[in-house]
Chains A and B, each alone.
Chain A
Amino acid sequence: GESVGLHLPTLSVQEGDNSIINCAYSNSASDYFIWYKQESGKGPQFIIDIRSNMDKRQGQRVTVLLNKTVKHLSLQIAATQPGDSAVYFCAENNAGNMLTFGGGTRLMVKP
C-alpha cells in the first residue's frame, strides 16, 4: 500500500505492551481534538475524540489525555496488538469544523 510519509517519527512496541503517542497542537482556541488511525492504503479512521472541557476520555483499549496548559494531547493504547500497527494522527478542530492535522506517528508492533 501507499506510504503515508517517509519521515514520520516511529514508535516500536512489543505486542501486549502499552503504547503512548504524543502530539502538540498549536491553537489554544481549538475546542475539539481527534485521534485518527491510518493503515497503509486506507483513509484515516476515527479512533477517539475529546472536547476542550475534558482532560481525559476513555474508549475501548484507548485513552486520550488533553493538557491545555501545555497544548499537549496523548493517545494511550492498552495491550497493543499487531492490528494496531498504523500511522496515528492527532487533529485539532478550530474555526468551525476545519481540522488541522499533526504530522503523524508510525506505530510498529513487534509480535
Chain B
Amino acid sequence: DSGVTQTPKHLITATGQRVTLRCSPRSGDLSVYWYQQSLDQGLQFLIQYYNGEERAKGNILERFSAQQFPDLHSELNLSSLELGDSALYFCASSDPMDEQYFGPGTRLTVT
C-alpha cells in the first residue's frame, strides 16, 4: 500500500459526459501528479500540482482539468468524454526526495 488513495476504483460513463476523479496523497507529500495509462499510449504524464499550484503540464487535453485543494487532495475533471478517454488514471504523490508513489488507479470506461 503506497499511502495514496484514489476514488472511485471503477467508473463507467457515456460519451459526452463529465467525471471527477479524486486523489488523496500520502501524508506530508505536497506534490500530486496525474497520469493516464492506455493500451496504445502507455503511461503518460498529465499534470502536476505542488501545494495547491500547478507546477508542470504534460499531454493533458483542454477537456481535462485538475486542481489541488488546501487539504492537498486533488481532483481530475474530464469533460466531453470520448471513447478514446477510456484508460486507467493514476495519481501519484512525491516526497522531498522526488520518489513518486502511485495510487491504485481509477479505471474509466467510456461507452
Contacts and interface: CB of A to CB of B under 8 A. Distances in A.
Interface string B66-99: 0000000000000000000000101010100011
A5 B88 CA distance: 11
Given A43-B2, A98-B58, A5 B102 contact: no
Contacts of B103: 43
B21 to A, nearest CB: 13
A109 to B, nearest CB: 22
B42 A101 contact: yes
B22 interface: no
Contacts of B107: 2
A44 B90 contact: yes
Contacts of A101: 42-45
Given A4-B37, A44-B43, A104-B42, A97 B31 contact: yes
A46 B39 contact: no
A103 B48 contact: no
A3 B33 CA distance: 22
Contacts of B58: 98
Interface residues of B, number: 28
A109 B3 CA distance: 28
B105 interface: yes
B7 to A, nearest CB: 13
B105 A32 contact: no
Interface in A42-92: 42-46, 49, 89, 91
B100 A89 contact: no
Interface of B: 2, 4, 31, 33, 35, 37, 39, 42-45, 48, 55-56, 58, 88, 90, 92, 94, 98-105, 107
Given A3-B39, A42-B104, A97-B31, 7 more contacts: A4-B37, A36-B102, A42-B105, A43-B2, A43-B105, A102-B42, A103-B42
8 contacts: A34-B99, A44-B43, A44-B92, A89-B43, A95-B56, A98-B56, A99-B45, A100-B45
